[in-house]
Amino acid sequence: MLNQNKSKKIFLLYVLIALGFLIFLSVMFLTVVKHRDLPSLYTEESSKAERGNIISADGFHIATTKKLYKAVVNTYYIDPEKKELFIQLFSIYSGINAGEIKEKLAQRSGVVVLSYDIAEKQAQYLKRLAFELRRLDVFVAKENKRTGQRTLHGLSIIESGESREYPYGNLLTPIIGYPHKIEDEGYTQIKGVKGLEKRFDLELSPRQNASSKGPRDVNSYIILNKESFTKPAINGLDIKLNIPVALQIKVERMCDSMKVDLDAKEVMVAVIDSHNGNVLTLASSNRFLPKDIKKSDYSSLNSAMTEYSFEPGSVIKTLTFSLLLDKGLVNPYDLVNGHNGRFKIGRKVITDEHKFDWLSAENVIVHSSNIGMAQLAQRLSGYEFNQGLKSFGLSQKSTNDLVYERVGSIPSATRLENEIYKATSAYGYGMRVNLMQLIRAYTAFSNNGRIVYPKIVNSFVDEYKREIFIPDEEQIQVIKSSTAARVKQILIKTVNKGTGMQAITQGVEVGGKTGTAHMVENGQYVNRYNTSFVGFANDATHNYTMGAVILEPKKSQFASQTAVPVFKKTVDILIEESYLFPSQPKIVE
């Protein structure tokens, strides 16, 4: 009986040992297979690439991007005895007042954003500070009561977005345009809305964000070794303009002054190289600050150079006369009856500001006779007239560098068979154009009968400062070289003896044509005017096609007293800035 009890006790002991061993094995198995949140031995860092810059011809950054960072700290991990040290050091490195930092830390516990607007240079300093604060044990590890793990969170400097900066304020607006902000997973990005910012948004946009992945040290900083991987940032392309800042500033200031002097709604000027189309200046008196657009700026957001179309008036006479001359339908010395300033075609009475009896065909341009041009235009068929205006680029896009262009309109070939429409179109009514179209058309007279495409952007510049030049568009022969040369001499005569005499500049070859046109409102002509002067200014080696348009000047309705003086002041600025070199008069001994 005693042996039997002893055997039972031994058996029970073995059962308990076996059961304990099974429980131990089960626990070990569950420990192995159960998912655990272990701290990763690897870490990953990323950085956003930046939008490209817009750079002037003389190397100044007109539009650039500034990265923004936010500074975040978790107060739970700050050693209370070193809190004051943290505040003072962060204040020194960030430039933020220590009192302001104290106030933010006192408002709440846990995650606190100390600043949303830290510049990139300060962010680099603060990242270094974050490392040093950990080294100085300003932050202490805390145990997570739920998991039992100890964690440490210090000062974090996080990319929060980008801001578009315009160091020269309203320079070159609205040509340069403006962007707006879009949120992408908590990061503020920039996207072009108008002007060059919109047209070249794809080229300016960043190509590839930077990222690094590899083993981490005890402070969670990446260790760069053979196990790590780094992908560099590829920023957006810079775009380099043909427009220099120094010239643009002077012409804009002149436009501002003339807007006041002429009591006008807007004054605008364009200058391009007649041979290659490179744009030297596109200046308007109506500009805005891209970073501070107000309701009062809304009317200035569109570039009137291409987005405002108007009836051009007499500047079209030059194109009409060129078509007649090119087809051999007129001789510059033909006599035309001026009808003493009043002439009737059908039910339409055409008048001239100055009364003429008889005048030569070329003097129809020189003295800007509506009556003379109305009669000469009848020699063109409607088809010839329509196709001729199209060949000069009217009713077509004038440049590839801007968006939302209003191309205007010209009468159809059928309508131009009507003698009244033909007459009024010959001196610039019944059609709509923009300033850039006129400039492009007038390049023919200084470019052997060929018109060019105005080119604002010269090249793209990549990460390695390599320039990718934009090829010139093919030039279009619209009239014979001999025709262009003859019309050019007539335009010079117009300045020297006709309506453009205020544009005379000693030592510079200047030619051009005035234009004054009634404005249309609700289908009726009203007592308001737009005036213009389009032509050229050349020296021995430079050839520039230029134009000035004045919208609704109250001081005078005549282009000779409004647009011509603006043109002349632009020529003077070109001389001052060494874009034109007047020839010296020969001294006769």
Residues with Cβ within 8 Å of 124's Cβ and at least 6 positions away in sequence, in order, are: none
Domain residue limits, the chain: 66-94+102-161, 164-205, 245-289+307-576
pLDDT along the chain (589 residues), means of 10: 63 71 68 51 73 97 92 90 90 90 89 86 87 87 75 85 94 95 84 95 91 65 66 91 98 98 98 98 97 92 95 97 98 95 92 91 96 97 98 96 96 96 96 97 98 97 92 95 98 96 97 93 84 97 98 95 98 98 71
H or E element, residue 328:
none
> Strands, E, within 274-330: which ranges?
279-284
C-alpha separations of 344 from 419, 424, 431 in Å:
11, 12, 21
Residues with Cβ within 8 Å of 339's Cβ and at least 6 positions away in sequence, in order, are: 371
pLDDT for 21:
72
Is the distance from CB of 348 to CB of 341 less than 8 angstroms?
no
Residues with Cβ within 8 Å of 315's Cβ and at least 6 positions away in sequence, in order, are: 428, 438, 513, 514, 515, 532, 533, 534
Q: How far apart are CA 191 and CA 188, in angstroms?
A: 10
Is the distance from CB of 394 to CB of 410 less than 8 angstroms?
yes
pLDDT for 146:
72
Q: How far apart are CA 75 and CA 112, in angstroms?
A: 7
Q: What is the pTM of this model?
A: 0.84
pLDDT for 38:
43
The letter for the amino acid at 539 is D
Is the distance from CB of 449 to CB of 484 less than 8 angstroms?
yes
Specify burial of residue 156 (Cβ count, 10 A radius: 0-12, 13-18, 19+). middle
Query: What backbone phi and psi angles, to 5 degrees, belong to 198?
Result: -85, -50
Architecture of domain 245-289+307-576 in CATH? 3-Layer(aba) Sandwich (3.40)
The letter for the amino acid at 283 is A
Q: How far apart are CA 20 and CA 463, in angstroms?
A: 68
Query: What backbone phi and psi angles, to 5 degrees, belong to 116?
Result: -100, -5
Q: How far apart are CA 82 and CA 62, in angstroms?
A: 45
Residues with Cβ within 8 Å of 211's Cβ and at least 6 positions away in sequence, in order, are: 44, 45, 46, 47, 230, 231
Is the distance from CB of 362 to CB of 483 less than 8 angstroms?
no
Residue 222 DSSP label: B
